[in-house]
Amino acid sequence: MKITVAGEMKEYKEGLTLPELIELENVESPLYVTVSINDEFVRTEDKEKTVLKDGDNVEFLYFMGGGC
């Protein structure tokens, strides 16, 4: 199946889970990354059971604090 990851079209096996994708993509700080699939945020408690589908668009988001 083909999915878009961070703007790049890639091919993966059918039935790929979100945790598998996070590992394959070598995501930094996987416990703290926020994931959106098709512009909808994945709740932390749903990450483990989320199965990706052909045509999905996945983004990994990192929120940073800072300022004065």
For residues 11 and 63, is the Cβ–Cβ distance under 8 A?
no
Per-residue pLDDT tens digits of the chain, which is 68 residues long? 999 999 999 999 999 999 999 999 999 888 889 999 999 999 999 999 999 999 999 999 987 766 66
Position 68 scores a pLDDT of 65
Position 30 scores a pLDDT of 87
Position 15 scores a pLDDT of 96
Q: Could you tell me whether strands 34-37 and 40-41 are parallel, antiparallel, or unpaired per DSSP bridges? A: antiparallel
Q: What is the pTM of this model?
A: 0.88
Q: What is the DSSP string of 44-64?
A: GGGGGG-B--TT-EEEEE---
Structural domains of the chain, with CATH: 2-61 (3.10.20.30)
